Amino acid sequence: MELSFYNNSATFGFGEKRVKPINLVAKAFESGDGIVRLAPAWVPRAFLAPGGRLKLAPQDLYALGVEKGGIDERWLASTVNAGLSQATSDEGLSYVVAKDGAKTKKILLKETVAELGETILGKNVMHKYGGWTVLTKFFDNAGPIPFHLHQMEEHARLVGQAPKPEAYFFPVQLNIIQGRFPYTFLGLNPETTKDDIKKCIQRWGQGDNDILAYSKAYRLTPGTGWNVPAGILHAPGTLVTYEVQKASDIASMYQSIVEDRLIPKDLLLENVPPDRRDDLDYIISMIDWEVNVDPEFKRHHYIEPKPIGKPEETRKEGYAHKWISYGSEEFSAKELTVLPKSTVKISDEAAYGLIVVQGRGAIGKFSVECPTMVRYGELTEDELFVSAEAAKEGVEVANKSNVENLVVLKHFGPGNPATPKLL
């Protein structure tokens, strides 16, 4: 494949060495027939404990220091900085891995999209959405996350951020051990009133504010998922979660204590305009009320995988392909399973990032394998990014194992015309 890239001679500093990153990454896309390798991006959370199921070596779970917290997330194909108070300038950002002669160098995917977006994402996507506006991650916690929401557009805009609709999928491969609380609270009971939630917030400094008494916990099932638009209160449980979302890291916590862990009220208020932090009506307005108290909440938000093609026919051809996140214009995701000793060519309608969660083989020109254990700072062979042109032409995926499936999760940005509707 011959790709046409801009010739950008600007230089950027990475450590002590200076390279021409855009030229280098353009060359990497060309030599990879529109595909590049990505380096792992690890993110800690100070108020959560890591579950240790993301293949990161146990001795590296606190590689960034205990004050920053344990590493419980891996961000995939990310062009978003982690919204953490002690975050480094590139924390959460993905790097493209490229060869510069005999040396291996890393170039920010964020810079790549800024300079080469029309080529790798397509002109329509760049003109309509402005770039790769999706963030995908794995999160893995030893205990449940506090009951919280991600602000809708009108509230996010007031603090200079973007809204954060998201969707969850629970990969079977990472959930052999489901943790101590494999349930997620979602939404509010239909009879809940706004005064009920106001009283919970007023009790913040008095111990547990009992907000979960107004919600319902759903038992999580590996191989299924949920669609969670902005404004929905939720408290994810202990299954390892593949989360696809709009590229934002905005949130407000509404629960004061989780498993005897105190949640600072600052985490409720940090994304509230300073002049509205004592305004309970404003804080309640961040909740999409009608959606939260929907008596048919599960029917409208629970997701079962949706097969692509006829499963009995694709299996004869050596693969299974499913939509695992759909119903949003902002993002979508698929699961591709290639059977042992099989090779298939798969076409898609848009650029995507991918992560291998089981097996080994080849994707295009790249060898891939799901790692057993990764040290912090090491490169892996499980994550790639595929340009729009390569996706449309079709990518060859080969399973090199005689006995084990090769399983790949593919995350798409906005505007994929093939994404199914929810209902």
pLDDT digits (tens, 9 = 90+) for 115-172: 999 999 999 999 999 999 999 999 999 999 999 999 999 999 999 999 999 999 999 9
pLDDT above 80: residue 37: yes
Question: What is the domain-level CATH number for residue 326?
Answer: 2.60.120.10
pLDDT number for residue 15: 38
Helical spans, DSSP H, in 170-225: 194-202
Q: Is residue 345 included in any domain, yes or no? A: yes
Tokens of 185: 């609270």
Q: Which of 408, 289, 393 has its CA nearest to residue 349?
A: 393
Provide the CB-side half-sphere exposure for 372 (13 A, CA): 0
Q: Is residue 421 included in any domain, yes or no? A: no
pLDDT number for residue 415: 84
Q: Are 363 and 43 in contact (CB under 8 A)?
A: no
DSSP E strands, 171-318: 183-186, 216-219, 225-228, 234-235, 241-246, 252-253, 257-258, 261-262, 302-303, 306-307
Q: Is residue 91 included in any domain, yes or no? A: no
Chain centroid to CA 214 = 28
Q: Is residue 318 included in any domain, yes or no? A: yes
Chain centroid to CA 393 = 25
Domain of 366?
311-412
Q: Is residue 169 included in any domain, yes or no? A: no
Q: Is residue 295 included in any domain, yes or no? A: no
Tokens of 134: 């999706």
pLDDT number for residue 12: 32
Tokens of 179: 């943790």
pLDDT number for residue 20: 58
Q: Is residue 7 included in any domain, yes or no? A: no
DSSP 3-state of 97: strand
Identity (one letter) of the amino acid at 273?
A: P
| Alpha carbons 70 and 68: distance in angstroms, whole number | 7
Q: Are 108 and 371 in contact (CB under 8 A)?
A: no
pLDDT above 50: residue 246: yes
Domains identified in the chain, total number:
1
Mean pLDDT of 182-194: 98
Q: Is residue 98 included in any domain, yes or no? A: no
pLDDT above 50: residue 7: no
Residues near 176 by Cβ (< 8 Å), separated by ≥ 6? none
